[in-house]
Amino acid sequence: MIRAMQTLPAPIAPDMWVRQIFSSKAGCGGGVVRRKVRDVERIVGRAAFEAELRRRGFRAVENAGQYVIFCNREAVRVVT
């Protein structure tokens, strides 16, 4: 059985990737963006990502392999 090779996107510089997230329409407008944890770890690294969130005063939650990033400084409350 022959399997098709999965093509990965071209590498992107970590700082450019971070800029793209926070310069998106939702990111600029104080909204919410979502990214896969594995992509954050592969491209930027968890520590650098968390440092960038702190620098901007933003919050994020992790669930089911995804980061949900709140691109504002408002409080976050988890609702059960």
pLDDT tens digits, one per residue of 4-47: 677 766 688 999 999 999 999 999 999 999 999 999 999 999 99
pLDDT, position 27: 93
Please give the DSSP secondary-structure letter assigned to residue 41: H
pLDDT, position 4: 67
Asked whether the CA dihedral 12, 16, 19, 20 is positive or negative, the reply is negative
pTM over 0.75? The answer is: yes
pLDDT, position 8: 67
Distance of CA 53 to the CA centre of its chain: 10
Exposed/middle/buried for 15, CB within 10 Å: 0-12, 13-18, 19+?
A: exposed
Secondary structure of residue 64 in the 3-state scheme: coil
pLDDT, position 6: 74
pLDDT, position 75: 95
pLDDT, position 1: 60
d(CA 57, CA 4): 43
